[in-house]
Amino acid sequence: MNGASLNGRRRVVITGLGAVTPLGNDVETSWKNLTAGRSGAGPITQFDSSEFYVHFACEVKDFDATDFIERKQTRRMDRFAHLIVAAARMAEQDAKLEISKEPHRIGAAIATGIGGLKAFQDCHAELIERGPDRVNPFSIPEIIPNMGAAWVSMQLGTQGPLSSQCTACAASNMALGEGADAIRLGRADVMLCGGTEAPVTEVGIAGFSAMRALSRRNDEPEKASRPFDAQRDGFVMGEAGAVLVLEELEHAKARGAKVYAEMLGYGVSSDARHITEPDPTGHNPARAMTMAFRDAGVATDEIDYINAHGTSTPLGDASETRVLKLALGEENARKTPVSSTKGATGHCLGAAGAVEAIFTTLAVERGCLPPTINYEDPDPKCDLDYIPNEAREADVRVGVSNSFGFGGHNACIVVRRFED
């Protein structure tokens, strides 16, 4: 088989990974802690949360943006941009890309759910306290969601397609799908695709807490994110930046690149129903999954692992269990291992899909299924194999990752063990 797949499409492979997560400030540390069953949750350190209902989050720890960005420049960027530039630089290095040789053939698709939330909060405070003439002139470029993608392009020098997906918690998967499509359509040979979020701010915690979306298990933060468990009471806010390098196969082979896996399929749908609640029937998210399977050319009995959206909310996890049964069929759903890595990372919103795509890629490449931690009390409404608490060795050829966002955005990707 050459660079084209059986249906004539340009094949897209994953040749680089970079991440800053609550589990570690690089991919290997994050993966090691994930498979060891560790939690990234702890007391909030970025502001005084004593007057809030929620006092914990899954923060990125000991991160210094000046390790990746010139110090003066960091002061003109929100934290969400710091995280994604760091992840992109690590992915670029991992892939051994030389962007300057062909910048117009290398692009970026970088997602976020919110953008510069801390910058927005600070801008408003400055306006109220000091007046309109004292507002930071860099406020708007710090706030707007597309600046994560823009900073990646400016810092790394990519001049190909540049886009920013802002579809809540489905955004990163959409960035990956659209990045892969750009390569298949010949608009680029390489795309840096991923997502970023830095929502651990006063506004972020207060707002999501007011919705009753967040867990309030303040006495045991490391056990608060418990996807599919009967005692789940909401998600844990997380922050992260994560990037995968997608590359046309022949381009990757020509430069001797390492290939982690093949990006095989992508599917999207919308619920058209509610601002926050999932589709109670499960049919619309299931359509995104079946579309991805069809795009990938895989049958439901060929799927070896699913990284679930699994946020640890009462409605969401029960709904996704129905979705999996609809998309795979009851029999296949019961025998397919499923885990939610949000038990360890919390919910990183617009960055979640990219973080989980990296974990799914490594599960395929390394034959190791990451666990769903804090799974202690089975819920009758969630009755599948959730890989409880301990990683599992397995022969993983095809992996699937789901991302479902507020407003009814649904996205699914399929990756496969690379075979040439």
User: Active-site residue numbers?
Assistant: 169, 309, 347
Q: Where are the alpha helices (DSSP H) in 19-144?
A: 27-35, 71-74, 79-95, 117-130, 139-143
- Alpha carbon distance 392, 158 (integer Å): 38
What is the phi/psi pair of residue 160, to 5°? -85, -160
Rg (CA), the chain: 20
The answer for residues whose C-beta is within 8 angstroms of residue 72's C-beta and 6 or more apart is: none
CA distances from 64 to 32, 94, 201, 204, 412 (A): 21, 20, 18, 22, 32
Task: Report the C-alpha gap between 149 and 68 in whole angstroms.
Answer: 16
Residues 105 and 268: their CA atoms lie apart, in Å, by 26
CA atoms within 13 A on the CB side of 275: 2
Residue matched to tokens 């926050």: 276
Helix (H, G, I), strand (E, B) or coil at 192: strand
* 3-class DSSP assignment, residue 69: coil
Partners of 378 in beta bridges:
229
Other Cβ atoms within 10 Å of 261 Cβ, number: 24
Look at the alpha carbons of 355, 360, 362, 367 in this order and tell me if their dihedral is positive or negative: positive
d(CA 361, CA 194): 13
* Residue 74, Ramachandran bin (φ over 0: left; ψ between -120 and 50: alpha; else beta): alpha
CA–CA separation, 170 and 361 (whole Å): 18
User: What does the chain come to in residues?
Assistant: 420
Secondary structure percentages of the chain, helix, strand, coil, to 5: 40, 20, 40
